[in-house]
């Protein structure tokens, strides 16, 4: 039985898929959620510095080192891609290497590479004053939309930041498998950003955004071109905005993304096994299958500082559950709520209803007796 190490800013979905494939895993993530703990042979907290793992991570991995087949890395490396090389020296990393991640997260490199490949990409700049008020200011190597804000006309772009022209349209994300040369779309989700954590914080995703045949074919060509240009491997995501019929590329997430939990049944054998197969160049052997239901997820951010009750009972439709007695600070991810329905609108309504219901669950939060208002 294969044994893996999973290191991610939120590792539960990868751990679930690994275990469902019949494998074992050790896990490092910052939250050590109770449902992740039940899946892992060993679970350790990896400290974050902002939205990425700090410099102590390689030492923690070395202290845990076991007979791993390899390491699968999720979020938490966008701002520190060189750390992937350090992990690869301990055990093979199944996924994109440090150079690939760095290129994908270099704004000018991404925009120019996309342009050369014939892919529409949002305009970016990394120096000088912002040309107008239709731009966003983003941290380079940022993750999950944290820190993103509207730019002010004439504002100087600070070191470590870049400006990206705002695209009006339908936000979306495509999850795809890649083998360095070719790619296959797993699913396209409708995105609903914005929460107490910020106007662009990653928050809600609902599966299978309706696309015309022409839109799907164009998107398939685009992800194949990105795969070839960057040498992408394994599960990857790309954030898009559909500006009419065409998609405009916003960014590449060169790693398994949280939307994988919406598509676990879309691939025979599950997405963790498919990720491994794609990394090993066995993409042709991955079998996709159609899904009849629409799945969605919504990240619930703490509206206030909340302490989990000692006898907390979580709803069955919740995931990423913090352990009893732990505290979640205001505007930090508290948990995830899940829903399934007949169409995207129904699923989105149910997700928001479940978010309100969860925050009102008796006994879930210590000392809370009244409704916690969402902002």
Separation between Cα atoms, residue 188 and residue 165, nearest integer Å: 23
**How far, in Å, are 105, 123, 177, 228 from residue 109 at the CA level?**
8, 12, 22, 15
Residue 374: per-residue pLDDT: 47
Q: Within 10 A of 46 (CB to CB), how many other CB atoms are there?
A: 21
Residue 244: per-residue pLDDT: 84
Pairing mode of beta strands 24-29, 42-45: parallel
Segments in the chain below pLDDT 70: 368-375
Contact 221, 291 (CB under 8 A): no
Where do we find the tokens 């949002």?
Answer: 122
pTM of the model: 0.94
Residue 370: per-residue pLDDT: 44
Q: Return the bridge partners of 164, or none.
A: 124, 136
Residue 50: per-residue pLDDT: 84
**How far, in Å, are 17, 60, 103, 298 from residue 96 at the CA level?**
19, 21, 11, 27
Separation between Cα atoms, residue 341 and residue 311, nearest integer Å: 31
Contact 28, 6 (CB under 8 A): yes
The phi, psi pair for 358, rounded to 5°, reads -65, -45
Residue 373: per-residue pLDDT: 42
Instruction: Of 113, 91, 89, 90, give the one whose Cα is nearest residue 102.
Output: 113
Query: What are the structure tokens assigned to 67, written together?
Result: 């007979």
Separation between Cα atoms, residue 185 and residue 211, nearest integer Å: 13
């Amino acid at each position: 039985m294969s044994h893996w190490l999973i290191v991610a800013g939120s590792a539960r979905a990868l751990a679930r898929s690994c275990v469902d494939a019949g494998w074992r895993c050790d896990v490092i993530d910052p939250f050590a959620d109770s449902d992740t703990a039940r899946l892992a042979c060993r679970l350790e907290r990896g400290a974050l510095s902002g939205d990425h793992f700090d410099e102590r991570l390689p030492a923690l991995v070395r202290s845990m080192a076991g007979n791993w087949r390899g390491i699968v890395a999720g979020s938490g490396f966008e701002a520190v891609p060189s750390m992937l090389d350090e992990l690869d020296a301990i055990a093979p990393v199944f996924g994109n290497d440090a150079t690939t991640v760095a290129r994908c997260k270099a704004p000018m490199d991404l925009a120019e590479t996309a342009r050369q490949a014939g892919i529409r990409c949002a305009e970016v700049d990394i120096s000088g004053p912002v040309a107008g008020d239709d731009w966003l200011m983003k941290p380079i190597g940022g993750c999950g939309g944290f820190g993103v804000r509207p730019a002010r006309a004439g504002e100087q772009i600070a070191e470590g930041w870049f400006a990206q022209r705002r695209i009006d349209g339908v936000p979306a994300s495509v999850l795809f498998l890649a083998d360095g040369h070719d790619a296959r779309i797993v699913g396209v989700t409708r995105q609903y950003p914005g929460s107490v954590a910020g106007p662009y914080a990653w928050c809600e995703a609902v599966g299978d955004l309706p696309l015309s045949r022409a839109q799907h074919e164009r998107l398939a060509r685009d992800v194949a071109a990105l795969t070839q240009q960057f040498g992408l491997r394994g599960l990857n995501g790309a954030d898009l905005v559909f500006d009419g019929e065409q998609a405009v590329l916003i960014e590449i997430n060169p790693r398994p993304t949280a939307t994988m939990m919406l598509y676990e049944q879309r691939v025979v054998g599950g997405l963790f096994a498919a990720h491994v197969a794609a990394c090993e160049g066995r993409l042709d052997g991955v079998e996709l299958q159609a899904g009849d239901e629409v799945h969605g997820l919504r990240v619930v951010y703490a509206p206030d500082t909340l302490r989990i009750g000692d006898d907390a009972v979580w709803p069955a439709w919740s995931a990423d559950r913090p352990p009893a007695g732990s505290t979640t600070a205001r505007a930090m991810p508290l948990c995830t709520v899940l829903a399934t329905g007949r169409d995207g609108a129904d699923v989105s309504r149910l997700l928001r209803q479940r978010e309100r219901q969860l925050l009102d669950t008796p006994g879930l939060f210590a000392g809370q007796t009244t409704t916690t208002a969402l902002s």
